[in-house]
Amino acid sequence: MPTSSFMTFLSRAVGHVRWRVRRFIALMLDRMRRGDRTVIMTPPAGLRFGNWMYLWLDAHQKSVAGQPTLVLEAPGMAPWFETFPALRALTITRDELRFHDQREWNDQDWRQVFGKDFTRESAHRFIRDNIADHIPLSPPDRIVLNVRRGDYYSNPGLKKLYGFDQLGYIRAALAEFSNVNDVLIVSDDADWCRQNVAPLMHAVANVAYADPDPAANFLAVAGARRIIGMNSTFTYWAGYVADAIRADAQIVMPLFHGRLYADTDAHQLDPTWTAIPGFH
């Protein structure tokens, strides 16, 4: 009998295929659309908070430049509007979509390439305008370690694309910091971390585990001054936010992102961060 993770993956895949068909039809109609605003289209499944953030950033930087742009609301966005209310103003519901609104489609990199789709300056302005006021700051010496597990490791197909030697990477990342005495581990699989990551922390005086809540987890990582992240858009965005609100932020990420293309590097990374190669 198929596992629940496989059925979830299959459901998302079917939804994405249907979206691509609708996208093809819409592209034919788009030639007739000449409205004064642009809507960045989103698929009904397959993207999550970190991916949406790049689209909201894109809408924000284009609107600031005088090209009114909004993001089409997708299922799952609503809870994030409670955490960051300003994002609602960058979003349009399907009912609010007008026939003459220009459409923008991008299902390749989803506007995630640093230095091409956005700059450090445009990301920081977006964060100041929409995100920064809601981020609580953590103690300055605490390292927040964000360990992304979930379907990256429970789903064989995604593991093949995104799985890597997390423990080897964490060892190397910890070596980038001095005075490692206080670590908060933020993960969607705290049990795995207690069994596997905890032994790496034997010399650390205080190790705590955050409760599994997406919004609270993001706030915890984004409010840190010292961050160890993973190959996840969720943790990349926490890094951007920390960098925008704390001038002395120290952010470490794996250079590896995934195996979707021949180039496996994470092109989302700010070049001022420490990017650790290998482990994949």
Any alpha helices (H) in the chain, and if so which ranges? 4-30, 49-64, 78-83, 120-130, 151-154, 156-162, 166-174, 190-196, 214-222, 233-245
Question: Distance (Å, rounded) from C-alpha 166 to C-alpha 160?
Answer: 14
The pLDDT of 43-47, averaged and rounded, is 88
The pLDDT of 174-181, averaged and rounded, is 95
How confident is the model over 221-268, as pLDDT tens digits?
A: 999 999 999 999 999 999 999 999 999 999 999 999 999 999 999 999
pLDDT higher for 189 or 20? Answer: 189
Place of tokens 């960051």: 84
- Max Cα separation, the chain? 64
How confident is the model over 89-146, as pLDDT tens digits?
A: 999 999 999 988 999 887 677 999 999 999 999 999 999 999 999 999 999 999 999 9
Place of tokens 């799985």: 163
Among candidates 262, 259, 264, which has minimal Cα distance to 277?
A: 264
Beta-bridged to residue 39, according to DSSP, are 70, 103
Residue 186 has pLDDT above 90, yes or no: yes
Q: For the chain, give me the number of helices (H) and strands (E)?
A: 10, 10
Among candidates 119, 112, 146, 122, which has minimal Cα distance to 271?
A: 119
Question: Distance (Å, rounded) from C-alpha 36 to C-alpha 21?
Answer: 26
Please state which CATH number belongs to domain 138-276: 3.40.50
The pLDDT of 151-164, averaged and rounded, is 96
DSSP class of residue 66 equals T
For the chain, what is the mean pLDDT? 92
Residue 199 has pLDDT above 90, yes or no: yes
Q: What pLDDT, on the 0 to 100 scale, is given for residue 33?
A: 59
Q: What pLDDT, on the 0 to 100 scale, is given for residue 89?
A: 97
**Cα 263 to the chain's mean position, in Å?**
19
Residues of the chain with CATH 3.40.50: 138-276
How confident is the model over 52-62, as pLDDT tens digits?
A: 999 999 999 99
How confident is the model over 2-35, as pLDDT tens digits?
A: 666 667 666 766 766 776 776 666 666 665 656 6
Place of tokens 């060892």: 171
What DSSP line would sit under 5-16, residue for residue?
Answer: HHHHHHHHHHHH
Q: What pLDDT, on the 0 to 100 scale, is given for residue 9?
A: 67
